[in-house]
Amino acid sequence: LQKSLSETFGADEYSRARKEVLTYMFSRPMQMALYFCTGILGDETLFHHYALNVPFYTHFTSPIRRYADIVVHRLLSASLGIRPPIAMEKEAIQKQADHCNDRKMASKRVQELSGDLFFSIFVRVRP
């Protein structure tokens, strides 16, 4: 598959962009991670990470990137006793998680549509 794709990309000025778009399109079917408040979900099996096969999982990046990462950092710090608990009810935390999920999905959809547009142009101009 890799050899076939490399031949398809070509060697012109757009070959790298084509490779990125096609590689992205191949990974689209993977399920997107969602933010949620653990206090809302009663079934702990929903905390499981399928690909890593671990029963409990959290994810965050640098808190300067996304609001959701700031919340995760604060909640994790509070759970470890490093800082006081966040003064938010679990329903409010879940509402924030839902909002972050909504924005993330909207952003992903725009990214997908952009890739679809580029791919359409690629197919049209490619012999």
For residues 107-126, give the mean pLDDT: 87
Each residue's pLDDT tens digit, 71-91: 888 888 998 999 998 888 999
Of the candidates 126, 127, 119, 124, the residue with the CA atom closest to the CA atom of residue 18: 119
Amino acid at 96: Q
CA within 13 Å, CB half, 121: 9
Each residue's pLDDT tens digit, 36-76: 888 888 888 878 777 778 888 877 777 777 788 888 888 88
Look up the pTM and report it. Answer: 0.62
Q: Where are the domains of the chain?
A: 1-30, 34-125
CA within 13 Å, CB half, 39: 11
Alpha-carbon span 123 to 118, nearest angstrom: 9
pLDDT at 8 over 90: no
